[in-house]
Amino acid sequence: MSTVQSSVQVGIHNTIVAAYTARMKAQQSLQQLDAEGVTLAGNKADAWAANVASNGVDPTTVVSTYESAEKELTAHQQKIVALQSLLRLLEGRISQLKTSYRKDVVVVLKQQIAAIQQTKTADEKDIQAADEAIQALWHEVHVLEPPATSSKKGKY
């Protein structure tokens, strides 16, 4: 293999690793943003309810309170929409990589499975999340490389 080919392979490998790592982190961030949105909305409702319970409904502050809450909730929702849009672009790129560099993607997926298996902790929640991630990655491996042709079997 020439130096140019080797360099290209390293570049492709790094691109695949980055794409899958970014997808995992984006999905985690999306889950976190969803949870934060529920908390944010609840906190806004609680603050307004406490204010009304103490002071009654003040027509002059209702609009400003509503606008403030709406502004924060809208900004939060925009983060979710932006992350979802970027995640869709990333999924498209991963699909291209699977088509063009199938074997390289399989290698990266198996490396990620091994890394996750090594870093599982004793925390049951972490173990469950790691097991789900491993299962999802094995699913992708099996789509690209059916189990009959796979050189290393794993839980599916």
Token digits of residue 155: 């839980």
- The answer to whether 73 and 47 have CB atoms below 8 angstroms apart is no
Residue with tokens 């890394």: 115
Given a cut of 80, whether residue 124 has pLDDT beyond it is no
119, burial (CB in 10 Å: exposed 0-12, middle 13-18, buried 19+): exposed
Given a cut of 80, whether residue 6 has pLDDT beyond it is no
Query: What is the spatial distance between Cα 120 and Cα 135, in angstroms, rounded to a whole number?
Result: 14
Lowest mean pLDDT among 20-34, 97-111, 123-137: 123-137
Residue 123's pLDDT band (boundaries 50, 70, 90)? low
**Any residues with CB less than 8 A from the CB of 116 and at least 6 apart, and which?**
130, 133, 134, 137
Q: What would the mean pLDDT of 68-91 be, rounded to a whole number? A: 95
pLDDT tens digits, residue range 37-69? 989 989 988 988 888 888 888 888 888 888 898
